[in-house]
């Protein structure tokens, strides 16, 4: 049976420079930010799956509003690059 593994990364930004895939600087944290090195790790782990089927894996920070359960459980993947030096949005009044 054919298989397909789909990786669905959030916003691709380098954690060390905060430069997006489009070449501009990101100035504030967002839970959908994902470093391309974390995407590479997820791809390697997906290729190593012993029994791939048709599967979709979301790739984002742990506090993102997407279902990361299969990425965590099935791939054993969690982002290593956390964008900790970026300012967090002010959530007052939300």
Using CA atoms, how far apart are residues 87 and 15, in angstroms rounded to an integer? 13
State phi, psi for 70 to the nearest 5 degrees. Answer: -70, -30
- What gap in Å lies between CA 83 and CA 22, rounded to an integer? 18
Q: What is the pLDDT of residues 24-58, one digit of tens each?
A: 999 999 999 999 999 999 999 999 999 989 999 99
Whole-angstrom distance, CA of residue 94 vs CA of residue 92: 6
Q: What pTM was computed for the model?
A: 0.90
Q: How much is the pLDDT for 89?
A: 87
Q: Are 13 and 21 in contact (CB under 8 A)?
A: yes
Residue 9 to residue 87: CA distance in whole angstroms: 21
pLDDT tens by residue, 51-79: 989 999 999 999 999 999 999 999 999 99
For residue 91, the model assigns a pLDDT of: 66
């Amino acid at each position: 049976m054919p298989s397909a593994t789909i990786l669905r990364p959030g916003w691709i930004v380098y954690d060390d420079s905060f430069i997006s895939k489009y070449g501009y600087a990101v100035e504030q944290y967002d839970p959908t930010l994902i470093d391309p090195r974390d995407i590479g790790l997820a791809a390697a782990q997906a290729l190593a799956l012993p029994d791939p089927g048709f599967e979709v894996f979301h790739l984002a920070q742990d506090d993102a509003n997407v279902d990361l359960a299969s990425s965590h459980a099935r791939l054993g993947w969690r982002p290593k690059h956390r964008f900790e030096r970026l300012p967090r949005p002010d959530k007052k009044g939300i």
